[in-house]
Amino acid sequence: MTRSFERYKKLSQETARNIVNFYERRMSLRVKADERNKGVRGQDNMSGHAAEDDIIIVPSPPIAPV
């Protein structure tokens, strides 16, 4: 954690702001996608509304019996 903080302090203010903005945007998109897809798991239609947020939902492959 200390090493990350030291690296962060060396960034320009603009770069640091861009990183924080990216992280905040990514987290808000993930929360929206999670809320929309709560009931989608296990269904054939995985597209939902996530395409609006540039998040792709990929169904898990089936587990084949051994």
Residue 59 lies in a domain: no
Is the confidence at residue 7, as pLDDT, over 80?
A: yes
Extended strands (E) in the chain: none
Residue 62 lies in a domain: no
Average pLDDT of the residues in 49-58 = 60
50: pLDDT confidence band, cut at 50, 70 and 90? very low
Residue 63 lies in a domain: no
Is the model's pTM score more than 0.75? no
Residue 33 lies in a domain: yes
Residue 65 lies in a domain: no
Q: Which two tokens stand for residue 60?
A: 């898990």
Average pLDDT of the residues in 19-44 = 79
65: pLDDT confidence band, cut at 50, 70 and 90? low
Separate counts of helices (H) and strands (E) for the chain: 2, 0
Question: How many domains does the chain fold into?
Answer: 1
Residue with tokens 């990350």: 4
